[in-house]
Structure 1
């Protein structure tokens, strides 16, 4: 069989319908690929819920005469039209107020760390490239890296020269300097070692990553600062507006689903298919 795998539960499942409109078992089975779960029954439940909610929204939108812009020639017409209809229905029915001054200031005061600019690290490193697939070469690199660490602990001023002569990274030409980096821009092991250093310090042992062995020196660290409220306000407003909209949509969808007669499935969490 080619294409997406279809997960079907072992036990027979009841027919799922919304206001008398049956959702085909094949459609539910195909939808399971978008709802990974440890058990096939859980994937089937999630897929059936999603399609039942979608059908309830479509029926409610059509009953109210909601229309949506037509699909373009390059888009799968039926699915795009249905998504557009649900989106138009939600946009028509759900409105949220803009965040006021008090709400923005309260969020700013309670979430200062989230709004803080990222720390900027300026590391330099010496990389001895090695692969575990070459066990002999890997061990030689490890021993050489440790030897270099011991040498640099006695003669730290040799770091730039050794980086230029021995490092397998393109940064070698600049004495191993990597420029400014923030969290997430280096491998986890490299980052963890770098963040333990104070400016001017070097790792006391070689740091192993998928690329090989690194000797890391932290040259500079600039701690991110929390911006003034007025500078942070656009970001705060965007977050609060989005959070408010998501809550309102969830409440609206719950009302629509609550008004529908759904059989064969218990809706445990009513969420719009467009709000993921």
Structure 2
């Protein structure tokens, strides 16, 4: 079988056009739009945790085509020569370079599993101990608090008085309930009075703090339970990476000669 020269030329041209089409998203006003532009946007979306399916890729294709259309028009109008554009480009360049610097630092200075475990152990040690499920009623005057204690001893319901009289609107609406918390979560005067109470006990005298006068009742006590290491590992890693980055930034600032 013999091929004519014109047939061979046509085959080469078709093959070349097919390869070019595979490398480009589209050709806008004669200018190819590389598929790499679409891939960069797709990688950004994938990095955010969103799947990039055919529907998303179709939207991205339209996005890069529109960008090329707008870019060509901007070039026709000489937008790139305006001072405003040049200033914005300088700022954008700085932002991208700084972001790349920080990414490079974090890549070369990773937080190790040993670092994470040591940090977790410190958190466990700092937060171990008892947690209290307490209620309180907060009022302005000592006499009011004493009257409330007398009413409670006479059979009045703690929850009802808290809803009606407590100045702490948040807990008051829930019958004075402060949920589970460590003693260190409260101001010292409140904590000192609370930790002396057993489950079900109430303060026999009003407790004064910077907020007013408290009547406190402890509904329950338990040992603090920390989440498992694997459950909080991602959060600890993020915090430690951010801390390392902040120290790196501070070190650069401190070493800089600024006049």
Shorter-chain TM-score range: 0.3 to 0.5
More helix, by proportion: 2
Q: Which has the higher contact order (CA 8 A, sep 6+)?
A: 1
Whichever of the two has the greater Rg, that structure is 2
TM-score (norm 2): 0.46
TM-score (norm 1): 0.44
